[in-house]
Amino acid sequence: MADISKELKSFPIKVDIDVQWGEMDAAGHVSNVIYLRWFEHARVAYLDHLNYPIVMEEEEGLPGVILAKQDCKYLFPVSYPDTIVLGIRVSEMQEDRFTMHCKMFSRRHKRPVAIANAVMVTYDYRQRRKAPVPERLSRGIHSLEKHPAPN
């Protein structure tokens, strides 16, 4: 049995998600695609915490953040009822992208259920090409990773 709070100490953003009955498949556990949806929810929560727009407004002139690649390692089947707690952090920064790492835990079983990673690319939709990570976003990530958000 894992101590979830201890396991998630290095993650600045934590998100709780209640498992829904309709997320289970014919095998009686949560469908694999739902884990990716939970991961997406955690990525959005991270960017929301930084107050970085998810939907780009033309007048803002900021590059968008798009998913370039993701993977998920499934460790344990989840079923209803349960609450999943996700910890998410940025594990690597590059000029035009950053990598997000997420760990998912079952509160009911007190154990990890999945580990996921995503490469997020900053993209200039006007010019239709990759763009450098804007200073506003880079500063926010560095600040959050050094000083995690309160739970």
- Domain range summary for the chain, segments of one domain joined by +: 4-144
State the Cα–Cα distance between residues 149 and 85, nearest whole angstrom.
15
Is residue 100 within 8 Å of 92, Cβ to Cβ? Answer: no
- pLDDT per residue as tens digits for the range 129-142: 999 999 999 999 99
More confident residue, 134 or 151: 134
Nearest residue to 104 (alpha-carbon basis) of 16, 9, 10? 16
Q: What is the pLDDT of residue 32?
A: 95
- Map residue 120 onto helix, strand or coil: strand
What is the tens place of the pLDDT at every residue in 73-98?
999 999 999 999 999 999 999 999 99
User: What is the value of pTM for the model shown?
Assistant: 0.92
Q: Detail the DSSP E strand segments found in 10-55.
A: 13-18
- The answer regarding whether domain 4-144 maps to CATH 3.40.50.2300 reads no
Cα–Cα distance for residue pair 134/141, rounded to 1 Å: 11
